[in-house]
Amino acid sequence: MNEITICLWFDGQAEEAAELYTSVFPDGRILDVTRYGSAGPGPEGSVMTVSFELSGTRFVGLNGGPEYSFSNATSFQIGCKSQAEVDHYWDRLSEGGGQGPCGWLTDRFGVPWQVVPEVLPQLLSEGGERSQRVMQAMLGMGKLQIDELERAAA
């Protein structure tokens, strides 16, 4: 089976980003760092790529330059079992970045994340008036609050 690795394009911040992400996720780890040689195109000895793993998913951070940036068209969704997990990921990843609506945030590198309690998709999939109340509650939140979602469902 072919392995899929997510490649994130940074402008000189790949190692800093990998260090943040691996400190936020309990099982995160940096796997490898490669550096530019004399052939370039980056300065010799500077970080070219950083391979790292978060929750069993492999990533490569590439210092490719300023040509490309991140957008909300692609984001990383973190399923959280508890409010403590929601708070942890929301607080750590949004630090120096931006907090958006409905559980969305952008970290200080511009990477979009969704911090979602696992109960939310369950409540929304039930259909009917109950799920509509949950949707309405979610639309009024930044960081998602499990107790408020459950109260809306009740």
> Which range, of 30-34, 71-75, 120-124, 127-131, averages the lowest pLDDT?
127-131
Q: Where are the domains of the chain?
A: 1-65, 75-154
Residue 82 CB coordination number (10 Å): 12
What is the pTM for the complete model shown? 0.92
Q: Report how far apart, in Å, the C-alpha atoms of 144 and of each of 55, 59, 70, 91, 114 are.
A: 21, 26, 23, 12, 10
Fold of 1-65: 3.30.720
What CATH number is given for 75-154 in this structure?
3.10.180.10
Query: What sign has the CA pseudo-torsion 87, 89, 92, 93?
Result: negative
pLDDT tier at 127, thresholds 50, 70, 90: confident
Please report the pLDDT score of residue 82 as a whole number.
Answer: 98
Residue 1 has pLDDT above 90, yes or no: no
Q: What is the pLDDT of residues 84-98, one digit of tens each?
A: 999 999 999 999 999
ω before 117 within 30° of 0 (cis)?
A: no
Q: What is the mean pLDDT of the chain?
A: 96
